[in-house]
Structure 1
Amino acid sequence: MTTNDNQESTNNNNAIDAAEDKTAIINPESALAAAAQAEKSDMKNNQSNQDKPLSAASNKVKDAGQFGKVAVIYGGSSNERSVSLDSGAAVLQALQNQGVDATHFDPKHQDITELRDYDRVFNVLHGRGGEDGLLQGVLQWFDIPQTGSGILASALGMDKVRTKQLWQGCGLATAPFSLLTADTDWQQVVNMLGLPLIIKPVHEGSSIGMTKVNNLDELPAAYATAVQCGDAVMAERWITGREFTIVIIDDEAYPVIRLEPADITNFYDFEAKYNRNDTSYYIPCGLNDADEKHLQDLSLAAFRAVDAKGWGRIDAMQDEAGNFWLLEINTVPGMTSHSLVPMAAKARGMDFDTLCWHILAQTL
Structure 2
Amino acid sequence: MGGPSAEREVSLSSGRECAAALREAGFETIELDAGRDLAARLAELSPDVVFNALHGRWGEDGCVQGLLEWMRIPYTHSGVLASALTLDKQRTKAVYQDAGLPVVPSLLAKASDVRAGHVMTPPYVVKPNDEGSSVGIYLVHDGATAPPQLADSMPEEVLVEAYAPGRELTVTVLGNRALTVTDILTDGWYDYDAKYVEGGSRHVLPADLPPEVFDACMDHALRAHLLLGCRGISRTDFRWDEGKGAAGLILLETNTQPGMTPTSLAPEQAAHVGIPFPELCRMLVEDASCDR
Partner of 1:334: 259
TM-score (norm 1): 0.74
Partner of 1:11: none
Q: Letter of the aligned partner of 2:249 in structure 1?
A: F
Is structure 2 residue 131 aligned with structure 1 residue 220? no
Give the structure, 1 or 2, with the largest relative contact order (CA under 8 Å, sep 6 or more). Answer: 1
How far apart are residue 169 of structure 1 and its match?
Answer: 1.7
How far apart are residue 102 of structure 1 and its match?
Answer: 1.0
Max radius of gyration: which structure? Answer: 1
Q: Distance in 2 between matches of 1:359 and 1:175?
A: 32
Q: Distance in 2 between matches of 1:217 and 1:337?
A: 43
Q: Distance in 1 between matches of 2:181 and 2:32?
A: 32
How far apart are residue 187 of structure 1 and its match?
Answer: 4.0
How far apart are residue 336 of structure 1 and its match?
Answer: 2.1
1:91/1:335 contact within 8 Å kept: yes
- Give the length in aligned residue pairs: 281
Q: Distance in 2 between matches of 1:276 and 1:270?
A: 11
Is structure 2 residue 92 aligned with structure 1 residue 136? no
| Percent of paired sites with the same residue | 36
Q: Distance in 1 between matches of 2:119 and 2:75?
A: 44
* 1:206 aligns with one of 128, 133, 139: 133
1:78/1:127 contact within 8 Å kept: yes
Alpha carbon RMSD of aligned pairs, Å?
Answer: 1.7
Q: Distance in 1 between matches of 2:132 and 2:155?
A: 12
Partner of 1:42: none
* Segment of structure 1 superposing worse, 82-91 or 110-119: 110-119
Give SS of 2:90's match: helix
Partner of 1:107: 34
Is structure 2 residue 190 aligned with structure 1 residue 260? no
Give SS of 1:189's match: coil
Partner of 1:90: 17
How far apart are residue 332 of structure 1 and its match?
Answer: 0.6
Q: Letter of the aligned partner of 1:243 in structure 2?
A: E
Per-residue displacement from partner, 1:236-292 (whole Å, max 9, x unpaired)? Answer: 1111111101101011111110111123xxx21100000141412111201133321
Q: Letter of the aligned partner of 1:252 in structure 2?
A: R
CA shift in 2, pair 1:287/1:229, >3 Å:
same
Per-residue displacement from partner, 1:8-53 (whole Å, max 9, x unpaired)? Answer: xxxxxxxxxxxxxxxxxxxxxxxxxxxxxxxxxxxxxxxxxxxxxx
Structure 1 unaligned spans of 5+ = 1-73
* 2:244 aligns with one of 314, 321, 326: 321
Give SS of 1:359's match: helix
Per-residue displacement from partner, 1:81-121 (whole Å, max 9, x unpaired)? Answer: 00000000000001112220111111227432332311111
Per-residue displacement from partner, 1:59-84 (whole Å, max 9, x unpaired)? Answer: xxxxxxxxxxxxxxx01010100000
Is structure 2 residue 195 aligned with structure 1 residue 273? yes
* 1:348 aligns with one of 273, 276, 280: 273
* 1:310 aligns with one of 224, 232, 236: 232
Give SS of 1:102's match: coil
1:313/1:330 contact within 8 Å kept: yes
Is structure 2 residue 88 aligned with structure 1 residue 162? no
CA shift in 2, pair 1:306/1:218, >3 Å:
farther
CA shift in 2, pair 1:338/1:232, >3 Å:
farther
Runs of 4+ in 1 over 2 A off after TM superposition: 183-188, 215-220, 288-291
